[in-house]
Structure 1
Amino acid sequence: MSKSHQLAKRLREVILDGTWVANTNYKDQLTGLDWKTAITHFDRLNSIAVLAQHIHYYLKGVSQVLAGGTLDIRDQYSFDFPLIAAQAEWDAFLEQFWADAEVFAAQVEALPEEQLDQPFVAEKYGTYLRNIDCMMEHGYYHLGQIVLIKKLLQGKR
């Protein structure tokens, strides 16, 4: 199995279907979650919806580069999203998240092995491999927060 294929498999695990590292994934945690719970803040923590949108923001930004586009995402905007105001909006976001995650994983899977060690956009951003690895690490970091926030919100009821 190529390194690109292994990376794509791990990306799918954290977002779509895996249980290897955290015994869960984004799709498992967010599917069936009602929008009111998703947008609820516990104390001063980010909401589950904002955390999911934050990961999606970076996924889309890196995916755009893999598709031959420019790197347009900026950390300063990575938590700025319109408030979700209905279940249909939340469901539509989730469907887009799952679709975009699959596109991203397929793009990673198609990367030539030698490209993984090449600079990602500019040398200051490291290599393609580093950026893809960071997407997974970042994803697991916020997945853990989502799991904890869900538990805190359930205990609040």
Structure 2
Amino acid sequence: MKRSEFIANRLREVFLNGYWIANTNYKEQLLSITWQQATHQIADLNTIAALTYHINYYLLGILNVFKGGPLEIKDQYSFDMAPIQSEADWKKLLEDFLTNSAIFADEVAQMPDEKLDQVFVNEKYGTYLRNIEGVIEHSYYHFGQIVLIKKLILAATK
């Protein structure tokens, strides 16, 4: 198996269909959340919707680079989400996130292994591999938050 395929499978695992690391994945957890739960604020924690938007923001920004575009994302804008005011708004964000997750994994799978060792945009950002692994690590970090926030919301609404 090529390295790029192996890494793409790790991406699919966290986002779409895996159970090995967390015994669940984004898709499984997010599909069972209502828009009210997704936007429910607990203390000063980010909402589930905000965290979903945040990860999707980075996926889109890196996908743009994969497709030959510039790196235009900035941390300061990574939580600038339009308000979620209905189930349709939440479903749209969720659909975009799941679609972009699958596209991201597919793009990585098709990447020649040599590309993984090339500089990603600028030497200060490291290699493609470093950035893709960063997406995986960053995604698990926020996924843990989503799972805990979901548990707090469910406990509060019992």
Q: TM-score, normalised by structure 2?
A: 0.97
Q: Is 1:54 equivalent to 2:54 in the alignment? A: yes
How much has 1:120 moved relative to structure 2?
Answer: 0.3
Runs of 5+ consecutive residues of structure 2 not aligned to the other structure: none
Question: Paired residue for 1:100?
Answer: 100
Aligned length: 157
Question: Paired residue for 2:45?
Answer: 45
2:156 and 2:94 map into 1 onto residues whose CA distance is 25
Identity percentage of aligned residues: 53
Match of 1:78, as an amino acid? Answer: S
Aligned residues: CA RMSD: 0.7
Runs of 4+ with deviation above 2 angstroms: none
Question: Paired residue for 1:32?
Answer: 32
Runs of 5+ consecutive residues of structure 1 not aligned to the other structure: none
Question: Paired residue for 1:63?
Answer: 63
Alignment of 1:7-156 (within 5 A): 7-156=7-156
2:69 and 2:148 map into 1 onto residues whose CA distance is 35
1:82 and 1:92 map into 2 onto residues whose CA distance is 12
How much has 1:32 moved relative to structure 2?
Answer: 2.6
How much has 1:40 moved relative to structure 2?
Answer: 0.7
2:30 and 2:146 map into 1 onto residues whose CA distance is 9
Encode CA deviations 1:115-142: one digit per residue, 9 max, x unaligned. Answer: 1111100000010000000000000000
2:95 and 2:81 map into 1 onto residues whose CA distance is 17
Question: Paired residue for 1:6?
Answer: 6
Encode CA deviations 1:55-88: one digit per residue, 9 max, x unaligned. Answer: 0000111111001111010001111111100001
